[in-house]
Amino acid sequence: MNFIDRLHKLFAPLVNPQEEQLKLALEALQANPSEVAPHLVEPDGCIPYGRNVLLRTDDVEVVLIHLPAGAKSLPHNHGDSFGCEIVVEGELTNLLYQTGDDGRLHDAGKEVYPSNSLVYVPKDQIHAIENATKKRVVTLNVYTPPLAACQQYAPEEPAQKEADRVKNARFNELFDQWASSYDETVYDSQGEYQEVFAGYDRILAAVVGQIPLGSRTVLEIGPGTGNLSRLLTRGGYHVIGVEPSPLMREQLKRKGIEIDLRDGHFLSLPLLKHEKVDAVVSTFAFHHLPLEEKREAIRLLQSHLSDRSGRIIIADTCFIDEASKQKMIERAKRNHQHNVLHDLLTEYYELHEDLRTVFQKNGMDVSFSQLNNYAWLIVATYPEAKQ
Ligand SMILES: C[S@@+](CC[C@H](N)C(=O)[O-])C[C@H]1O[C@@H](n2cnc3c(N)ncnc32)[C@H](O)[C@@H]1O
């Protein structure tokens, strides 16, 4: 039986496996360098090692890692997963880290594993993998549950981390509370928010429809319970989702939507400097930033667009001018829509003119199309991009 068939036979049946079962399966596989070699992939420019997912079930993810000579990953964790790995070829260096009370990463030791070593990767481990030799290193890794919401620690991030955490707190309470009933709200045809979310599915589709042809990777900010994420994955896009609310992230994962989901927010993007995407999308989230922070957010998002044909596509509440905003405020008062009124008075629902200025100052043109009485489709493009 060939390597892939053996791998499927051993790992596909595993249900909620424990450490011992993962180790036994890895040992039983008897992966040898020559039969594994055809499945190695080269680093893709985003991460310094090649990563090939050989199997992913509801319970396990088996990944073949190829670390070329001298390669070293950034420190990262594995979200809620734990796992085991076997060194198929070469000598692996595992650099361990801990977060201190100051929120910074501290070195916590180094382990060196020769080939055939079997290594347990506990759930809370923060580590970096390194090939300190001149020959390639190949490891076969299995994680359970399949990887989601892994966190990378960019070199400059630790100093920023504490401040970011404080900022994060600003958004999370409300959305943590709303997470379990959020989908009811957006599909409610009677409640107070019915008009705000009217045509919700059509709005999400309109956003997807603006993604430039040929795009592969899309960055979604504030995916919430993942309704747009699901549409994007169905469209075949690879989606990186950045969501600050832990309970929103949990809802999204519970629905089985497969995106690369990360903790972060508009002003603290958990992406490596050189990680690029073809488009950025966001629905009903941009209004959480005050106008001055919106400009900074656009600048950060632009730094991850792969080229100048990339777009930023947003659906959110905004108003043509002050008069139309006031009209909606008066209407909410008349109709005793206390929650909507509160939002109109406290959220950062901008006027078109102000949003246009924010994008123009960042060198982008912007178009507005109305989606319902509140929501507009906002599409930002570089002037030279072909339509
Ligand atoms: C109204 S929900 C929209 C969810 C989803 N995009 C949708 O269209 O249904 C707003 C989402 O944005 C997230 N959020 C709030 N402030 C944010 C910020 N500054 N950066 C990124 N996401 C934010 C919330 O946690 C929440 O999941």
**Does the beta carbon of 285 lie inside 6 Å of ligand 1?**
yes
301 located within any domain: yes
Find the CATH number of the domain harbouring 32.
2.60.120.10
Ligand 1, atom nearest to 186 Cα: 9
206 located within any domain: yes
Protein residue closest via CA to atom 4 of ligand 1: 224
pLDDT at residue 166, rounded to an integer: 47
Domains held by the chain: number: 2
Protein residue closest via CA to atom 18 of ligand 1: 265
136 located within any domain: yes
Task: Examine the domain organization and report whether 347 and 204 are in the same domain.
Answer: yes
Task: Examine the domain organization and report whether 192 and 286 are in the same domain.
Answer: yes
Q: What is the mean pLDDT of residues 78-92?
A: 95
Cα of 96 vs centre of ligand 1, distance in Å, is 33
Task: Examine the domain organization and report whether 237 and 314 are in the same domain.
Answer: yes
Mutating to test ligand 1, I would choose from 175, 227, 262, 296 the residue with most ligand atoms within 8 A of its C-beta, which is 175
pLDDT at residue 155, rounded to an integer: 56
Find the CATH number of the domain harbouring 355.
3.40.50.150
Residue 303 pLDDT greater than 80, yes or no: yes
**Cα angle vertex 178, ends 263, 352, to 5°?**
75
Residue 161 pLDDT greater than 70, yes or no: no
254 located within any domain: yes
Task: Examine the domain organization and report whether 140 and 200 are in the same domain.
Answer: no
Q: State the Cα–Cα distance between residues 1 and 140, nearest whole angstrom.
A: 18
Task: Examine the domain organization and report whether 62 and 184 are in the same domain.
Answer: no
Q: What is the mean pLDDT of residues 151-165?
A: 55
pLDDT at residue 71, rounded to an integer: 92
157 located within any domain: no
pLDDT tens, residue by residue, 167-205? 555 678 889 999 999 999 999 988 999 999 999 999 999
Residue 171 or 329, more confident: 329
Task: Examine the domain organization and report whether 224 and 284 are in the same domain.
Answer: yes
Of 144, 163, 196, the domain-final residue: 144
Residue 106 or 339, more confident: 339
161 located within any domain: no
Q: What is the mean pLDDT of residues 237-265?
A: 95
Cα of 316 vs centre of ligand 1, distance in Å, is 11
263 located within any domain: yes
Cα of 181 vs centre of ligand 1, distance in Å, is 14
pLDDT tens, residue by residue, 276-298? 999 999 999 999 999 989 999 99
pLDDT at residue 98, rounded to an integer: 87
**Does the beta carbon of 245 lie inside 6 Å of ligand 1?**
yes
Asked whether 202 and 160 are in contact (CB, 8 A), the reply is no
Residues forming a β-bridge with 316:
376
Asked whether 50 and 41 are in contact (CB, 8 A), the reply is yes
Q: In b/e form, how buried is each residue of 234-258, taking b as 16+ CB within 10 angstroms? A: eeebbbbbbbbbebbbbbbbeeebb
Of 126, 144, 162, the domain-final residue: 144
Cα of 66 vs centre of ligand 1, distance in Å, is 36
Report the range of poorest mean pLDDT among 36-50, 149-163, 209-223.
Answer: 149-163
Task: Examine the domain organization and report whether 193 and 335 are in the same domain.
Answer: yes
Give the DSSP letter of residue 59. S
Protein residue closest via CA to atom 23 of ligand 1: 222
Of 96, 121, 144, the domain-final residue: 144
Q: What is the mean pLDDT of residues 110-123?
A: 94
Domain extent at residue 262: 179-381
Protein residue closest via CA to atom 1 of ligand 1: 284
What rounded mean pLDDT belongs to the chain?
A: 92
Task: Examine the domain organization and report whether 116 and 194 are in the same domain.
Answer: no
| pLDDT-based confidence at residue 105 (cuts at 50, 70, 90) | confident
Residue 240 or 151, more confident: 240
Starting at the earlier edge strand, list the strands of the sheet with 82-89: 50-56, 61-67, 137-144, 82-89, 118-121
312 located within any domain: yes
Q: State the Cα–Cα distance between residues 135 and 313, nearest whole angstrom.
A: 44
pLDDT at residue 348, rounded to an integer: 94
Task: Examine the domain organization and report whether 225 and 135 are in the same domain.
Answer: no
| pLDDT-based confidence at residue 156 (cuts at 50, 70, 90) | very low
pLDDT tens, residue by residue, 339-387? 999 999 989 999 999 999 999 999 999 999 999 999 999 999 999 886 5
Pairing of strands 61-67, 137-144: antiparallel
Cα of 222 vs centre of ligand 1, distance in Å, is 4
Task: Examine the domain organization and report whether 96 and 203 are in the same domain.
Answer: no
Q: What is the mean pLDDT of residues 72-81?
A: 90
Q: State the Cα–Cα distance between residues 98 and 352, nearest whole angstrom.
A: 46
Q: State the Cα–Cα distance between residues 168 and 244, nearest whole angstrom.
A: 7
pLDDT tens, residue by residue, 17-53? 999 999 999 999 999 999 999 999 998 767 789 999 9
**Does the beta carbon of 171 lie inside 6 Å of ligand 1?**
yes
| pLDDT-based confidence at residue 102 (cuts at 50, 70, 90) | low
**Does the beta carbon of 266 lie inside 6 Å of ligand 1?**
yes
Residue 316 pLDDT greater than 70, yes or no: yes
Q: What is the mean pLDDT of residues 60-66?
A: 97
**Does the beta carbon of 227 lie inside 6 Å of ligand 1?**
yes
Percent of the chain with pLDDT over 90: 81
Task: Examine the domain organization and report whether 191 and 89 are in the same domain.
Answer: no
**Does the beta carbon of 127 lie inside 6 Å of ligand 1?**
no
Task: Examine the domain organization and report whether 336 and 270 are in the same domain.
Answer: yes
